[in-house]
């Protein structure tokens, strides 16, 4: 149950931060981007039919950021630690529950 709550909280955080990310260039801290991108990658893995939609969502989040900004953030220790941490946590979620949550994230 704790793992499912963590997963749901991560998805909700991603949605909340999406509006912030679209307002300016890259407005979220590296940790948040790492969590969001880790979650989107996880969802792409458990729901491969919707991989393009997860990738599009990720692109939308950072569309105003320059490649240089993204490279700097993605190579930071804060980003990497958050990405690895969320990947580890989500890896504990049963695949059927993960697929269900990832599908719900897309609004389907």
pTM: 0.76
Convert the pLDDT of each residue in 65-95 to its tens digit. 989 999 999 999 999 999 999 999 999 999 8
Residue written as token pair 């969320």: 86
Residue written as token pair 């958050």: 82
Q: 8: domain range?
A: 2-105
Closest alpha carbon to 14 in 101, 100, 108? 101
Neighbour count for residue 12 (Cβ, 10 Å): 11
- Coil, strand, or helix at residue 10? helix
Neighbour count for residue 48 (Cβ, 10 Å): 11
Convert the pLDDT of each residue in 32-48 to its tens digit. 999 999 999 999 999 99
């Amino acid at each position: 149950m704790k793992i499912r709550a963590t997963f749901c909280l991560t998805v909700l955080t991603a949605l909340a931060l999406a509006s912030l990310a679209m307002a300016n260039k890259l407005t979220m801290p590296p940790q948040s981007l790492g969590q969001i991108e880790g979650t989107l990658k996880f969802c792409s893995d458990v729901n491969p039919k919707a991989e393009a939609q997860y990738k599009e969502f990720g692109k939308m989040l950072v569309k105003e950021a320059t490649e240089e900004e993204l490279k700097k953030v993605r190579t930071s220790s804060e980003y990497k630690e958050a990405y690895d941490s969320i990947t580890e946590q989500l890896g504990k979620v049963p695949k059927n529950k993960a697929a269900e949550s990832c599908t719900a994230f897309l609004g389907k």
